Amino acid sequence: MTSVPSPPLAGRRALVTGAASGIGAALARRLVADGAQVVAVDRDEAGLATLEGVEAVPCDLSDLAAVDALPADVDVLVNNAGLQHVAPIPEFDPDRFSLLLRVMLEAPFRLARRALPHMYAHGWGRVINISSVHGLRASPFKSAYVSAKHGLEGLSKVIALEGAEHGVTSNCIDPSYVRTPLVERQIADQARTHGIDPDAVVERVMLAPAAVKRLVEPDEVAELAAVLYGSASASITGTSLSMDGGWTAH
C-alpha cells in the first residue's frame, strides 16, 4: 500500500502579515495548502474573513503594542505588510515617513525578536521577508519605502547570521511591481495622469527599468516563498531572491 507523504509544514505554525489581500493572501493560501497552521494578520477584517483555514487576527502593525501581543510561537514568519507614500523629500510628511518605517521595518524586527526564541528552542525556523526591488534599488519620491525596504534587507541578513546555528534561515524576496489592489490603483491613477492605456503604464512607466514588461502575480511570490521553507531551504539564508524581470541586471 502506497503511503501518502505528509505536507511539508504539517505540525508547524506560520504567521503572515498583510494577509488580507494580494501577496499576503496568496502566501496564506499556499502555507495552508502545505499543512501549516496559519495566523493571518491584517487590519482589514473583511479581507481576512475571505481566507479559509486560517486563524484571522486583526491588527494594525503601526500599533507596536499590538504587534508585541501577536503570537510568538511560530515556526515560519512572513513579513509582508506594507504601504506606500510618494512625495519629494522636502514635501514628505515626517509622520508618514515614521509610519512606513514602523509598519515595514520596526514591526518585522519586533515579530522576529519574539518568534526567534521559539524557533531556536525547536532547532528550526524560517523567516521570509517580502522586500522589493526597491530594497536593492532606489527610485525618486519614495524615500520612506526605499529606506524601509533597504533596512529590511539588512535586518534579514542579521537574522540569518544569528539564527544559523539554531537551524533558522532568513531571506528576502524582491519582486518588482506585483498585481495587487494597491498597484492596480497606481496603474489607473497614472493612466489618467499620462492619458495613456493602463498596459502602456506598466510597460513604459512602472517597468521602464525592467527587461520583462509584465506584473508579477501574487501566486508567483508564494511559489518562491515555498522554496524558502521547503526541503531545499536549509542552506538558503542571508540572501535576496529577485523577481524583478531583470531590473537589477543593469
* Residue bearing the bigger pLDDT, 182 or 164: 164
The tally of domains found in the chain comes to: 2
113 and 34 share one domain: yes
The neighbouring-strand residues paired with 126 are 76, 169
Helix (H) or strand (E) holding 18: none
Domain membership of residue 226 (yes or no) is yes
The neighbouring-strand residues paired with 207 are none
Residue 1 confidence (pLDDT) above 70: no
For residue 200, how far is the Cα from the chain centroid? 27
Residue 170 confidence (pLDDT) above 80: yes
Between CA 131 and CA 38 the distance in angstroms is 20
Domain membership of residue 2 (yes or no) is no
Mean pLDDT in the chain? 96
Residue 41 confidence (pLDDT) above 70: yes
For residue 178, how far is the Cα from the chain centroid? 11
210 and 130 share one domain: no
Domain membership of residue 40 (yes or no) is yes
Neighbours of 10 (CB within 10 A): 11
- Reduced to 3 states (helix: H, G, I; strand: E, B; else coil), residue 78 is strand
Mean pLDDT, to the nearest integer, of 221-248?
A: 97
CATH number at residue 229: 3.40.50.720
pLDDT on residue 2: 65
Parent domain of 190: 179-215
191 and 85 share one domain: no
Residue 239 confidence (pLDDT) above 90: yes
Residue 47 confidence (pLDDT) above 80: yes
| Confidence tier at 173 by pLDDT (50, 70, 90) | very high
In degrees and rounded to multiples of 5, residue 128 shows phi and psi of -120, 120
pLDDT on residue 192: 85
For residue 142, how far is the Cα from the chain centroid? 18
Locate 15 and state its grid cell: 504567521
Residue 104 confidence (pLDDT) above 90: yes
Helix axes 94-101, 143-163, angle to 10 degrees: 30
135 and 204 share one domain: no
In degrees and rounded to multiples of 5, residue 170 shows phi and psi of -145, 130
137 and 207 share one domain: no
Q: Which amino acids are annotated catalytic?
A: 145
Residue 119 confidence (pLDDT) above 80: yes
pLDDT on residue 63: 98
148 and 25 share one domain: yes
Locate 203 and state its grid cell: 510597460
Task: Output the pTM of the full model.
Answer: 0.95
Locate 17 and state its grid cell: 502579515
Residue 152 confidence (pLDDT) above 70: yes
